[in-house]
Each structure stands twice: as structure tokens, then as C-alpha cells.
Amino acid sequence: MDQLASTLRPVLQPITHNLPSPLRNAAISLLGNHCYKSLLYDVNLADSSCLKLAISKALGVGIIGASSIVKIPQLLKLLNSRSSAGVSFLSYLLETASFLISLSYNIRSGFPFSTYGEVALIAIQNVAISVLVLNYGGKSAAAAVFVAGLAAAGYALLNGDLVDMKMLQYLQAGAGVLGVASKLPQIATIWSQGGTGQLSAFAVFNYLAGSLSRIFTTLQEVDDNLILYGFIAGFALNAVLAAQMVYYWNSPASGQAKSHKLEPKGKKAIPMAAMGAESGVDAGQKRNSPSTRRRG
């Protein structure tokens, strides 16, 4: 490592010693003064503690960046198909509740944003997906109640006068259970339908990678076993979902919706057999009508 550092130092130091102020300030805010000087200014790659911190911060920023789009493919699949087949609302409800509690806990605990920022971004996308699932299921009123309930809960959790820190710690312990439990309805839905329906493979595999990375960043930056155990359990169940995605990849139920798409109001789909029967009845009525017999 020392040999590598001695090779890179003459190349990197002219750059790191002249970083623009915004970049320098951002690096110091992420790494702290000591690790900024050790890794960037002095290019000391033998400083293992600072190197681990830098890797953790880079993973955290990468996870936050990826989380801003992780559920977009799922949203697009729902919007394009106008069907929520294979997507469990209960799963999204439990996960969003878990995220709301975790977000409030991290904010009020003063933890670095790089260790939990994706929770806020994914929660917003979860709300949009949940609303679509309810709407396509013909439950628009329930969607409005769902959003209003989340807003009220978020206000209470962030307000220390309504929910004190001790209570929030208990809720955070429960949030880990909720986060784990949120995967079970989705796993059960895939199993019962024999396919993944409109479930996004991108979201599933991104979640798997993200939960694994979060175990590392939590070990490095957050001394809180409540959060760590939640990420470990979440990784285990995300691995089950990823395995299901691979197993059912070419399943017919993964390529087509098994539930009815949303139809315009006032219109009902008529089975082809029924249409044929109705056509036969209409033809028979026309042949046997009085006007037809007179013409014959």
C-alpha cells in the first residue's frame, strides 16, 4: 500500500492541493478534517481507518444516488400496464411505515445523512407506487386515507412533544420488524401467483445490493444495533426475493398480468365466448322475426 501511495502521490497531490472550495468543503464535511488531510491532502493510503470511512461514505452517497431512481422502473411498469398484478400493497404499506419511523429516528438522533438518505427518497417513491396500486384496484378513497395517515404520522414522529425519544427508540425497534415483515407479503404474492407480475427486477436487485452495502456503512459509521440488525434481516429477505425473481424469470405469470387491468368506467370486458353466443342469438332472432318471415 505504501508503494502504491508513493506512486500515486506525485500524480494526485497537485490536484488534491488545488481543489475548488466547494469540492474541498464537501470532502471535509464527509470525511472530517483528519481523514481529508490524511487521504486527499497527504495521499496516505496506509491510514486504514480513514480508508474504511472513505469507502463507507462513497457507498452511502452511491446508495442515495441509486435510491433516487430505484423505484422508477416499478412506477413505469404500473403506469404502462395499468395493472398492479404481482405487487403487494401490504408489502409497500409495511415498508413505508418502517421507513417513516427510521427516517424520523435518524433525523432526531443526528446521524449523518449519508447513512440514511435513501430512506427518504425511497419512501416518497413507495407512496406513489402504493397510490397507484390502490387506484388500479378500484380503491381511490383508500389511497387518499393512506396519504393523509402517513402525513399525520410523520408530523407526530418528528415532534418531540408528541413522541419522545424513548418512545421513538421503541418504535425504531419495531420498525426493524416491520421492514422485515414487509418482504413477506411480496414473497407470498409471488409464490401464490407463480410469477412476478409487474414487479420490477431492477428494484429487487438494487434493494439486495443496497441492503448489503448498508450493513457495511452502518458498521463503520453508526453505533446502533437496532439499525444494524434491521439491515441484516432485510438483506436476508431481499435475497429470497431476488432468488424468486430469477426462478420465475420466464414464468408466463411474470410476463402477463393475472388481475384485470383498470377499465374505463361504464365499460365491462365481455368474454369472446359470450360475444359469440350473443351473436348467434341475435342472428336467430333476425331469421325468425315477423318481417323476415313475410319477406320469405
Domain layout of the chain by residue ranges: 2-46, 70-255
Share of residues in the chain with pLDDT > 90 (%): 15
Compute the chain's Rg from CA coordinates: 27
Alpha-carbon distance 240 to 73, whole Å? 20
- Rounded to two decimals, the pTM is 0.59
Instruction: Share the mean pLDDT of the chain.
Output: 78
178 pLDDT band, cuts 50/70/90, is confident
4 pLDDT higher than 90:
no
Handedness of CA 244, 247, 250, 252 (dihedral sign): negative
User: Helix and strand tally (H, E) in the chain?
Assistant: 14, 0
Tell me the backbone φ, ψ of residue 76, rounded to 5 degrees.
-65, -40
146 pLDDT band, cuts 50/70/90, is very high
Q: How far is CA 156 from CA 107, 164, 175, 178, in A?
A: 13, 10, 15, 18
Q: Residue 92: name the closest of 182, 174, 158 by CA.
A: 182
Q: Residue 247: name the closest of 181, 179, 193 by CA.
A: 193
Could you read off the pLDDT of 13-57 as tens digits, one per residue? 788 888 888 888 888 877 888 888 888 888 888 888 888 888 888
Alpha-carbon distance 75 to 130, whole Å? 10
What pLDDT score was predicted for residue 254? 54
Q: Which of 65-74, 171-180, 212-221, 252-261 is predicted least confidently? A: 252-261
What pLDDT score was predicted for residue 1? 62
159 pLDDT band, cuts 50/70/90, is very high
